Amino acid sequence: MVQATAPKPDIQVAAEDRVGRHDRRRLADREGFLAWAMLLPSVIYIVALVGFPLLLAIAFSFSDVTTGDPSFDWAGLSNYQKIFGDPVFWRSLLNTIIFTVGSMVLIVVFGKILANILVADFHGKWIVRFLVLLPWTTPVALSAIAWLWLLDSIFSPIDWMLRQVGLINGNMYWLGRPSLAMLSVIAVHAWRLIPLAAVIMMAGLVAIPKDIQEQAEVDGGGYWRRMFEITIPLMLPLIAVAALFGAIVTFTDMTVVYVLTRGGPTNSTQVLSSWAFFRGIEGGDIGQGAAVALFLFPLLLTAAILILRAVRRREVL
Amino acid sequence: MTAATVDESIKADASVEALRRRAIRRHRLARVGLYLAAIAAALVCAGPFLWSLITAFKQSPDLYQRDNNPFLYNLPSTRQHVAYLFQDTAFLTFVWNTLWVGVLVVAITLVLSLPAAYALARLDRPWSGPMAIAIFFVYLVPPTLLFLSLSRLVVAVHLQDNTWSLVLVYPQKRSEGHRGAGHGGRI
């Protein structure tokens, strides 16, 4: 502050100075304001690119918008009537549940086993850690293409190995038979997400205080008893987090299905998100696609709330 | 020492020795099991990549033989597939696109999400708990649902057939992931 007119008494200047400094400090100390200022860019971005498209998608599901005719006309519930009357929709819903539950079980069980291996001490630990993380760090589309060939109907190396061992004679047609195709899709998806679950669970595993384990060992608890009565209960919140992430990614994912089977054979691996994609983007019926995809949201919300509540209850206990 | 105590201490020694041997045997077994499990895990996880690497240098006639060992070169290896990739496809353009889109997306994500994560975790306003959960729920919105309308949105801002549309759309999913991870312990 520059005083151009009459110079002020020293005391007043000092007071103003103090007030000025005080104000400046207050701005940096006003956490409410700061928190908003730091949060706002993200909130704007999310509203613009998630909130708005979400509302738009909800609006689309009540309209007759297609890629050929993007004009918006109100169509009421007719899209919903159409998808509910479509057996493929119910098939996809069932498949989505099988796909999610199946991969979640695999992810949690093998994620736990893998986490146990990775925290153990052995030679070559770092190379094993590196190799084990590959499925997760590689883009899905790439690894799914590798699996497409590994599961090929004629040249599948997996079949070749099974033939060498003498388990089969011809081919398994992994992606050609409905139940095997579902199994393959679940296995590939689980293969991709197990490393992520293992890393999350490793955090839980190393966080368990050593003295609890040692006490149990002194008391004569064997490996399995310690595993099921100490390690797993103490890790439960993190196992739930891993399962939640796995479930969300599985529920909304369509890459594995899209690359491996395109929903086939005869829609036996069609999941809701791939069905929405085929309907809405490839089939061009955006209204119906949006209605199918919208159906995922409440299911996901319920699952997430249930798991979060389960985690909270365990922490309170 | 009387004869009885000597006898007892010998017996005790023997049982300690037996226990020790059993412990060593169990320890060795556990180590072997651990190494086998680690090798199996590495093979299952990295196997498809190893196979892809081998296959990339195989001649096509070698590939289309059902009974050829898929893990060995039954015919001499070749570099023709790699040459094809660089000479007859726009592979380098794809690599370049991946790189610059990736770098920009990471930059945007960090610029947006780091202050937000700090605000939520450290400045600890009364509303930061519900806000974190609200942001977490954004994560639940299925991408399939979004790209139906995002495809319209991208047309509206005249970015169709433009790689910049990816820069615009990608950080959306990532940023929540970061915050989700930052909040992992609390949600």
Q: Is 70 exceeded by the pLDDT of residue A5?
A: no
Identify the pLDDT of residue A27: 65
The residue with tokens 């995809």 is A293
Sign, Cα dihedral of A176, A180, A184, A186: positive
Looking at residue B174, what is its pLDDT?
46
Q: Which residue has the higher pLDDT, A165 or B185?
A: A165
Distance of CA B106 to the CA centre of its chain: 17
Contact criterion met (CB below 8 Å) for A92 and A81:
no
Angstrom distance (rounded) from CA B171 to CA B108? 7
More confident residue, B132 or B38: B38
pLDDT, average across residues A199-228: 85
Kindly state whether A114 is in contact with chain B, defined as any CB-CB distance less than 8 angstroms: yes
Chain A residues with CB under 8 Å of B137 CB are 301, 304
Kindly identify which residue of chain B lies nearest to residue A117, measuring between CA atoms: B38
- Which one-letter amino acid corresponds to residue B57? F
Q: What pLDDT score does B36 carry? A: 92
Q: Distance of CA B124 to CAs A31, A34, A286, B132, Å?
A: 9, 11, 42, 11
pLDDT tens-digit map of A155-167:
888 888 888 887 8
Nearest to B41 among A46, A128, A138 (CB): A128
pLDDT at A240 over 60: yes
Contact A289, A283 (CB under 8 A): yes
- CB-based contact A50 B146, cutoff 8 Å: yes
Exposed, middle or buried, A138 (CB in 10 Å: 0-12/13-18/19+)? middle
Please name the fold of domain A81-316. MetI-like fold (1.10.3720)
Cα(B114)–Cα(A41) distance, integer angstroms: 11
Separation between Cα atoms, residue B153 and residue B143, nearest integer Å: 14
Best residue of B141, B151, B176 to probe chain A, by most A CBs closer than 10 Å: B141
Which chain A residue has the Cα nearest residue B48?
A146
pLDDT band at B56, cuts 50/70/90?
confident
Residue A230 to residues A216, A235, B26, B89, Cα–Cα distance (Å): 8, 9, 22, 56
Where residue B184 falls among pLDDT bands split at 50, 70, 90? Answer: very low
Question: What mean pLDDT do residues B57-80 have?
Answer: 81
CA distance A59 to A63: 7
State the average pLDDT over residues A64-90. Answer: 79
Q: Which residues of B touch A44 (CB under 8 A)?
A: none
In the numeric block, the tokens 């450290």 are attached to B122
Do the Cβ atoms of A49 and B168 come closer than 8 Å? Answer: yes
Using the predicted structure, report yes or no on whether residue B178 has a pLDDT greater than 50. Answer: no
Rounded CA separation A183/A189 (Å)? 10
> CA-nearest residue of chain A to B167?
A49
Instruction: Return the SS3 of B138.
Output: helix
Radius of gyration of chain A (CA): 28
Least CB–CB distance from A34: residue in B51, B123, B168: B123
Residue B46's alpha-carbon distances to A16, A24, B38, in angstroms, are 68, 56, 12
Q: A134 and B45: CB-CB below 8 Å?
A: yes
Average of per-residue pLDDT across B159-182: 56
CA distance B96 to B90: 10
Size of interface A-B (CB pairs under 8 A): 187
List, in sequence order, every residue forming a beta bridge with A74; answer none if it has no partner: A63
Average per-residue pLDDT in chain A? Answer: 80
Residue B17 has pLDDT above 80, yes or no: yes
Residue with tokens 């690894």: A143
pLDDT of residue B179: 42
Q: Is the ipTM of this complex over 0.95?
A: no
Task: Return the structure tokens found at B114.
Answer: 């780091």
| A290 vs B contacts (CB less than 8 Å) | 145, 148-149
Nearest to A120 among B34, B141, B168 (CB): B34
Residues in A 75-104 with any Cβ partner in B closer than 8 A? none
- The answer to whether the Cβ–Cβ distance between A49 and B168 falls below 8 Å is yes
The 3-state DSSP class for residue B159 equals: coil
> Across the interface, do B140 and A304 touch by the CB < 8 Å criterion?
yes
Name A63's bridge partners: A74
Kind plus residue range of the DSSP H or E element containing B131? helix B128-138
**A271, A308, A282: which is closest to A103 by C-alpha?**
A271
Q: Which of B65, B32, B26, B108 is nearest to A49 (CA)?
A: B108
Contact status of A312 with chain B (Cβ, < 8 Å): no
DSSP-derived secondary structure for chain A: ----SSPPPHHHHHHHHHHHHHHHHHHHH-HHHHHHHHHHHHHHHHIIIIIHHHHHHHHHHTB---SS-----B-TTHHHHHHHT-HHHHHHHHHHHHHHHHHHHHHHHHHHHHHHHHHS--TTHHHHHHHHHHHHHS-HHHHHHHHHHHT-TTT-HHHHHHHHHTS-SS---TTTSHHHHHHHHHHHHHHHHHHHHHHHHHHHHHHS-HHHHHHHHHTT--HHHHIIIIIHHHHHHHHHHHHHHHHHHHHH--HHHHHHTTT-STTTT--HHHHHHIIIIIS--HHHHHHHHHTHHHHHHHHHHHHHHHHHHHHH-
- Checking if the pLDDT of B175 tops 70, the result is no
Nearest residue of A to residue B33 by CA position?
A117
Closest CB from B51, B66, B149 relative to A57 = B149
**Is residue A271 within 8 Å of residue A256, measured between CB atoms?**
no
- pLDDT band at residue A2 under the 50/70/90 scheme: very low
Count, residues in chain A:
317
3-state secondary structure A248-301: HHHHHCCHHHHHHCCCCCCCCCCCHHHHHHHHHHHCCCHHHHHHHHHCHHHHHH
CB contact under 8 A, A38 and B66: no
Q: How confident is the model at residue A3 (pLDDT cuts 50, 70, 90)?
A: very low
Shortest CA distance from B108: residue in chain A: A42
Q: Are B163 and B97 in contact (CB under 8 A)?
A: yes
Output the pTM of the full model: 0.77
Instruction: Please tell me what DSSP assigns to residue B68.
Output: S
Instruction: Give the chain B residue nearest A274 (alpha carbons).
Output: B144
Q: Is the pLDDT of residue B1 over 80?
A: no
Measured between beta carbons, which residues in chain B are less than 8 angstroms from residue A38?
115-116, 118-119, 123
Q: Nearest by CB to A53, which of B38, B71, B146?
A: B146
Residue B176 pLDDT: 44
pLDDT at residue A193 tops 50: yes
**pLDDT score recorded for residue B162:** 66
Q: How many helices (H) and strands (E) does chain B have?
A: 8, 0
**What is the Cα–Cα distance from A88 to B83, expressed in whole angstroms?**
44
Q: Which of B119, B151, B171 sits opposite A38 (nearest CB)?
A: B119
Residue in A127, A276, A300 closest to B140 by CB: A300
Cβ-Cβ contacts under 8 Å, B144 against chain A:
252, 254, 272-274, 276-277, 280, 289, 293, 296
Which of the pair, A50 or B162, is modelled with greater confidence? A50
Q: Do B148 and A38 touch (CB under 8 A)?
A: no
φ/ψ of residue B73, rounded to 5: -90, 100
What residue spans define the domains of chain A?
10-61, 81-316
Task: Say if residues B70 and B51 touch (Cβ distance below 8 Å).
Answer: yes
What mean pLDDT do residues B92-106 have?
Answer: 87
